[in-house]
Amino acid sequence: MKNRIAYLLFFVVVVAASGCNKKFLEEMKSYDKYDENIFTNEVQTGWYIDRLYNYYFVNYKNPTLTVVGSYDDTRRNLTEEIGGTVKDYTNPNKLLVQASQADGYYGAVLSGSVNNNAYTRIRLANFLLEKIDGIGKVLSEDFRKTAKGQMYMFRAFQYFDLVRIYGGVPIVTTVQNASSTDESIKVPRAKSSEVFDQIITDLDSAAALLPMKWTTSSTDYGRFTAAAALAMKSRVLLTAASPLFNANWDNAGDQHWQKALDAGIAAETALTAAGYGASINSAKDWAEVTFKNDNSFNGEAIFLILLSSTNSSTATNNGWESSIRPKDQNGGGGISVPKAMLDLFPMKDGSRPVIGTNYNDTFFFEGRDPRFYRTFAFSGSKWAYTNNKNKVTWLYRWRASATGTVTYYANNQTSSPALVRKMSNPAADSTTFVYSGTDIFDYRYGELLLNIAECYAAKGDIGNCITYLGKIRSRVGIPSANNYGIGTLSSRYAALEACLYERRVELAYEGKRFWDLQRWMLYDDDASIGDNTNARLGIPILNGTSRQGYYWQSKTYGADPLTAADRAISIDPDASDFNTQIASLKTLYQNKFVMTPLDAAWDKDGSTPVNFLFRSNYYISGLSSAVLSNNPWLTQTIGWQDYNSAMGTFDYKQ
């Protein structure tokens, strides 16, 4: 989005729309600087609503970041998608069990001003919900309805991340003031199931109050909608049905799966009737919908984060474009792709790649799923930008001698022969990559289809599972033969594995992978907590593995092995000579390059190579020392020590 960023640049919007001064917005930094009287005026109430969008999403500057409000890269680096950064949660040299080591997302000790943390955001939503139908009754009914609908969505979003991180947490739906003597605010941790119920109640309320699409897109596009609320029910209920929270997940008749399926089908029906879901009819469409920035309706976008291309102190930009572009495009250097990701994507007929059968990993770029060429860039790939519409990427190196100096072509020093290119805009300006205004898709229609497929799989309805996986594949041009390459799924376990596989491909680099690993507990099987999902689904465990890379290295020593004529290759999946260019690249590789291991391990603790070790108590964090010391009535989570170093007793599976 390039202008009118209502909830991220509301300082500008407020002044432009109303001429009022900015002092009100500055005063909102402290609770004691405003009161319920702001809800007697639609303009000021609008500012309040926009402030919450800012509180929730101002740090959402990259599609791989996660967790409402914080939006950091901790969880993306716990997956196979991006290598090189070893976080404490997968470091075998770290054991996290003390309260002082628990996730601090819950919040910190109270201070003199408002901190943007989880329960602050909930309090702000509660405040409007309490006041809008009282002192705010002077406002129009339609305005009050949409104002409340957005607050219910905010609250649901926040509780969803709280329950995913901590399991059961206190449910607070009224405005509370900090007090050391008021017993009424000492709210205990609710069961996880009760938090899920509260989220669904809020989403139902939001769906009843919000429009499916806003009529004035120039000012309201990007706000919460009923479509987003209905789709979120599917995401939330799927999480509640998954093994992390559902001990009965392996029962095909379990009610959790049916509820999640019902929510998914209801959302699909309503969204389709409202015009969602028809934006992708080719692999080219699949790529292009992610950088459409004109504020017009996008049927793939169920909920997106609007960002600005403006270079100003009030603008929030998308850092993705700069981070994924290589050095010779004036980018940050690119995100190197682990080999496991290159080997993951299907072949062009939809079948799984099997080395030695239908796939040669040396020529990983040959004959792949159409989404492969929109997700990754590799040597020979055309990767345009405004300043150079015919730019071709080259990622290789050579040595002066067998042990001599290494030179990377065009200073593109990578740990892989491919870079992530998904969600890159070919019309981006290389002089302003850091000010990208490409919007971020938090929830798109493809995810909804995958949610439905997974529910059918869990219920043992393999036919409908394949139908929905086929919907995902057909729209990017994978041929229908052999069930779009999926083949025959022999059991509900095979169907569930197929769904999780498809999610890895379709949603790659969209910040979803960790949550799938978490809710299915796929790092390892652990009998002590009743976890056997890897064995049941036939999915290899991640523990004990590391992210691997390699170089394209010249077979000869001395100088750059390629001539200008060699680099005449320009691989464009939409070009008529695409297959010819792929064949030319293969020949070039055979003649001049060899696959070479990395000079040092990619995943390291300091300088020491390490393999993943994600311990079972990390799936759900304990409460931190600060939380427990200031709220001593709260119990600690099983697997974590409390403030007094005793082991926790709170069971998040209830």
For residue range 90-137, what is the model confidence (pLDDT) as tens digits? Answer: 999 999 999 999 999 998 766 656 789 999 999 999 999 999 999 999
**For residues 499 and 531, what is the distance between their CA atoms, to the nearest angstrom?**
19
Indicate if 390 and 251 belong to the same structural domain: no
Please check whether residue 171 lies inside any domain of the structure. yes
Shared domain check, 345 and 264: no
Query: Are 168 and 242 in a shared domain?
Result: yes
Residue 640 in domain: no
DSSP per residue, 353-389: P-BTTTB-GGGTTSSB-TTHHHHEEETTBB--BTTBT
Separation between Cα atoms, residue 91 and residue 74, nearest integer Å: 13
- Cα(102)–Cα(625) distance, rounded to whole angstroms? 8
334 shares a domain with 257: no
Q: What is the dihedral of CA 69, 70, 74, 78, to 10 degrees?
A: 0
Tokens 């991006």 -> residue: 82
pLDDT score for 30: 44
Same domain flag for 255 and 388: no
Q: Which residues contact 327 (CB under 8 A, 6 or more apart)?
A: 333, 334, 410, 411, 412, 413
307 assigned to some structural domain: no
Where among 276, 310, 336 does a domain terminate? 276
127 and 232 fall within a common domain: yes
Q: Are 209 and 60 within one domain?
A: yes
Domain extent at residue 580: 320-436+550-564+574-597
**What Å distances lie between residue 322 and 373, 442, 459, 508, 550, CA to CA?**
19, 20, 43, 18, 23
Same domain membership, residue 53 and residue 197: yes
Q: What is the CATH number of the domain that holds 147?
A: 1.25.40.390
**Pair (166, 267) in one structural domain:** yes
Distances (CA, A) of 334 to 63, 411, 417, 587: 15, 12, 11, 26
- Residue 259 token pair: 């509820």
**DSSP alpha helix (H) spans, 402-480:** 445-458, 462-474
- Give the total number of structural domains in the chain: 2
* pLDDT mean values, one per 10 residues, the chain (654 residues): 32 27 36 75 95 96 97 96 91 97 87 81 96 96 98 98 98 87 90 98 98 90 97 98 98 98 98 97 96 83 94 91 98 98 98 98 98 98 97 98 96 97 96 95 98 98 98 98 97 98 98 98 96 98 97 97 96 97 98 96 94 98 95 96 96 96
* Domain match, 17 and 132 both: yes
Examine residue 1 and state whether it is found in any structural domain, yes or no: no
SS3 content of the chain, % helix, strand, coil (to 5): 40, 10, 50
- Point out the domain boundary residue: 276, 307, 335: 276
Flag whether 584 is in a domain.
yes
Do the beta carbons of residue 139 and residue 42 sit within 8 Å? yes
Structure letter (DSSP) for residue 327? G
Residue 283 belongs to some domain of the structure: no
Q: Report pLDDT for 3.
A: 33
Query: Does residue 494 contact residue 538 with C-beta atoms inside 8 Å?
Result: yes
One domain for residues 194 and 342: no
How far, rounded to the nearest angstrom, does the alpha carbon of residue 143 sit from its chain's CA centroid?
A: 31
The answer as to whether 245 is a domain residue is yes
With CA atoms as reference, report the closest residue to 280 among 271, 294, 295, 290.
Answer: 290
Q: What is the DSSP letter of 471?
A: H
Q: Which residues, in sequence order, are bridge partners of residue 440?
A: 305
List beta partners, residue 554: 593
527 token code pair: 């009998």
The radius of gyration of the chain's CA atoms, rounded to the nearest angstrom, is 25
Q: Is residue 484 part of a domain?
A: no
Q: Amino acid letter at 624?
A: S
Angle at 46 between CA 437 and CA 439, to 5 degrees: 15
- Same-domain pairing of 115 and 183: yes
The CA–CA distances, whole Å, from 495 to 450, 475, 504, 538 equal: 12, 20, 14, 11
